[in-house]
Amino acid sequence: MKNPARKTFEPLLSPYVDGELTPEERQAVERHIAADKESAAQVADFRAASGLTRLSFEMLADEQDFSEFANQVMARVTPQKLPLFERLKLSVSEMFTYQRNTLITVGAMACALALMAGAVVKLSGQDVEGYANARVEVQSVSIDTGARVRPVVMETEKGDAIIWMVEDGTAKKTDEVRREELDLEPAHDASQKAGDL
């Protein structure tokens, strides 16, 4: 070694390249390499080898297919099946950890759908008033005074009502009396009309 200081500074060249020296040490090394070409060349060599080593490993790692690596590791570390409750707890916890946004979106969509479904059910469940309704409940049946028929209400097994109109003999008599009193012609088809009803 021509430069006697080189022996002192040589061990510091590698940490100098790695940026591991104190500011004072770094300044001292920089002064030394400015004066000693061989040390400067050594630093250049270290830097070149360092860069090449890093790049060569990146190239070699690129050649390796890591697509299944993690799955292979997971297959070897997966523990025996946990109890159902623990698995459920874990699944819920994982969902909240990894899919919080998705969960919020799905929850919001489910709420919206539930509201819409509720509204549809409510609307479809509402009865139409009057004769437009599919079912009309028979509250009472009445006839006009002097009608020649009388109603008979029957109920089916399903709860529907059937109203039969039955000829009423007493009513006929009353009508005839009334007609006679008014001096009108007797009615010919009174019983037929009642049947029509």
Partner 1 sequence: MATDDLTLVQRVRTGDQRAFKALVERYQRKVYSVALGMLKDKEEARDVAQEAFIKVYKYLDHFKGDSSFYTWIYRITVNISIDVMRKRGSSKGEHLEFDETIASDTTEANIGALGTRLGTNPQKSMLRKELAEKIQAALAEVPEKHRAILLLREIEGMSYEDLSRTLGIPKGTVMSRLFHARLKVQKILNEYLELDESKSGVGTE
* Interacting residues toward partner 1 by CB under 8 A: 10-11, 13-15, 18, 20, 38, 41-61, 63-64, 66, 69-70, 72-74, 76-78, 82, 86, 90, 93-94, 97-98
CB of 94 to partner 1, least distance (A): 6
Give me the least distance between CB of 105 and partner 1, in Å please: 20
Q: What residue type is 64 in one-letter code? A: Q
* Cβ distance to partner 1 smaller for residue 10 or 176: 10
| Minimum distance of partner 1 from residue 106's CB (angstroms) | 19
Long-range contacts of 188-193 (CB under 8 A, 24+ apart): 190/148, 191/148, 191/167, 193/148
The C-alpha angle with vertex 91 and arms to 86 and 93, in degrees rounded to 5, equals 95
User: Which of 69, 164 has the CB closer to partner 1?
Assistant: 69
Longest alpha-carbon distance in the chain: 159
Strands, DSSP E only, in 25-160? 149-155
Q: Shortest gap between Cβ of 91 and partner 1 (angstroms)? A: 11
